[in-house]
Structure 1
């Protein structure tokens, strides 16, 4: 089975009231943990690669890892560029075999964002590749994304129809209160479901995307803090809020920070308990198992896309 786009995935997700997990990948163990979990619960997958991950792991290596995952699992898998910020980067990924790209023009004006997005859409659609764009600005820091709280902005529902019609984009990432990284809320977590509901009225049957949607699972935060970390007050999006979003217009939910926390927390715990060990297989095996356990729980308990492959 070749790589697929998200078109059929999102259509089924919208109609079925669930979301597809978009998990960021950086190395072999993360790819294996995610895809083994999805295979066990028969879930479709979006594996996404940031610009930083592509530089770190190398485009060719990542492509071959994803190809191996398809061979091993037989699942429908989409390979997606996360937060592409230039036409050139998106073009490189499209030409290199990605089946979906995100052009993030949210740091531009509304008009410039539309212009850049349409440029990417025109090129991508000619190659059979789908495009995600972003309207509004999420706060937080993750990879190359760095938006201060004062510069963050909710998506304006009055802009979405013109944006989608003008650009021809296939899905839209919106800002309703999530943020990148592990420190998402000060005080009580809250998402603007009123904005999501209004956007879904303006864009009926159109797939919406949530970025910055890790739940920052306390178990792994505590593990990191116990073994030398310093993450007081880290909290993410409550899973019941994500389930609600998935039952509405949200068809894709991005998860990255939770994967990093599970991987790092498990490795730190391993070295604290086995300080003389140095074989990478010894500490990466439990880390891979932690990723698998986390992803399986997300698919079944939050996304609801198990048995939907």
Structure 2
């Protein structure tokens, strides 16, 4: 089998910063086209719509959807009906039900659907999972704080219904937690701080518990003006684990051990996608999105000052 003929749908910041370098660095993929509302100025043909790409005669095997989640479902349905394999940026959709629909379509058509969670591929995450599997968890604290003006400038969609607000980065923490913690957990209460002029929260506090009654807290805030904090701390019967995930690298601190590594998340995602296609299977884990949905179901909405960029 030759290289997977690949098209990128949506050529915004995440596509340019992460997807394009990862595609270029993986010989299993050959970027043959892009779909964007504006000329992305790439060295491949571009089209304003997926239908226009399909009508062009360019052979495509797979696509990555890097659009806002509110419009991703319709594009994924189109792609699957055209017989394409589909890579979904996180979150995989605006709702749980639409992702399950995509899974059913992919299964029926024998196509690969990949719900990607890039933070699970950060350095130290698998080591953290293995270390925690042999210990008793006593408490978990997640702190995910950053300046929205720095990290999400001009992204109006993120403030709209379905855009998740502060949970858009926060879901990265939940993707790690659902991967490394040895027992399932669920939300018990949540407070969502919503600007008076927006649909989605700018900050949130969520409490969780697992089947053993272990307490877990999560604090997210987009009003952080200093250095960002992306930390997961787990207290165990054998000491404390701290995993810090940052742009460019990740750092895992264990009792008497330190592990650090560079950012290879998207390279690993594309390697995983190629293996899934070769094996003829899908990978659609909705656990992180389910926790976000539960937080919105349980959440007390508290209005805060309007957000003006």
Same-fold call, TM cutoff 0.5 = no
TM-score class, shorter-chain normalisation, is 0.3 to 0.5
Higher relative contact order (CA 8 A, sep 6+): 1
Quick check: which one's helix share is greater?
1
Normalised to the residue count of structure 1, the TM-score between the two structures is 0.33
